[in-house]
Amino acid sequence: MTALFDYLLGLGDDALVAAQRTAEWCARAPQLEEEVALANVALDQLGQARAFLTYAADLEGAGRDEDALAFLRDEHEFRNVQLVELPNGDFATTVAKTLLLAAYQNLLYTRLAQVAEPRLAGIAAKAAKESAFHVSYASVWTVRLGDGTPLSHRRMRDAVEEVWPYTHELFEPWAAPEAGLDPAALRGPWLEVVGRVLGEATLTRPPDGWAATGGRAGRHTEWFGPLLAEMQYVHRAHVGARW
């Protein structure tokens, strides 16, 4: 398949898996407002995933649709980064994951909105606005917890440190000619955004140590299989079912 197909799978899978994982907070969040907010973040990600995967399926022209791509591929065929498949952990871990992912997605989508390929640019322009809300939501909580009590500070700090090794994968070489973008070029602006939020939260940026890798090539963490099993079960148990 073309490089653009693979690229769209990566964009779509990042959003799809982030949506599925974030939506696990439904009926489990610490308070109603946060539950609604997290559900809306997940819903935005799901909408982005649908747009990218539908585009990928149209491009492939092999009779697959967004559902076939989401529910009928196996683990090694998914192109998402490992960051989005990590367990939710406590609320601070979810906030850290949301901040680090959304800051990247916002920068990426903002640039993709400028590319010449009209369908990619159109989806990205819409998605960029949505991810700006996610950055703002996660930033507020990072600051509130980081600059809060000694306990909340410790847990927010631990969360950022735990998730940090999984952020390097976001900036690995991965491209399609239509996107014309080197992900490594996003890391500087990303560090600036993330660094500003961490600073306000009285947290320091963790040192760069080991780096998770392999998601874009279909190598995933031990947590990914159970997520897929839950997400894909109904579709596979009731083949061809319609509402």
Residues forming the site for another protein (CB under 8 A) = 33-34, 36-37, 39-40, 43-48, 50-51, 118-119, 121-123, 125-127, 129-130, 133, 136-137, 140
Give min distance, CB of 94 to another protein, in A.
15
* Smallest separation (angstroms) from another protein to the CB of 63: 20
Closer to another protein by Cβ: residue 96 or 128: 128
115 near 179, Cβ under 8 Å? yes
**109 or 164: whose CB is closer to another protein?**
109
Residue 213 backbone dihedrals phi, psi, to 5 degrees = -155, 160
Sign of the alpha-carbon dihedral angle for 156, 102, 200, 160: positive
> What is the smallest separation between the CB atom of 168 and another protein, expressed in angstroms?
27
Q: Is 149 left (phi over 0), alpha (psi -120 to 50) or beta?
A: beta
Distance CA 156, CA 154 (A): 6
Alpha-carbon span 112 to 180, nearest angstrom: 9
Alpha carbon distance 83, 101 (integer Å): 8
CB of 234 to another protein, least distance (A): 18
d(CA 54, CA 141) in angstroms, rounded, equals 33
CB closer to another protein, 18 vs 163: 18
Retrieve residue 116's tokens. 């010449």
Q: Which of residues 15 and 186 has its CB atom nearest to another protein in the complex?
A: 15
Smallest separation (angstroms) from another protein to the CB of 200: 17
Which is closer to another protein, CB of 111 or CB of 119? 119
**Amino acid sitting at position 26:** C
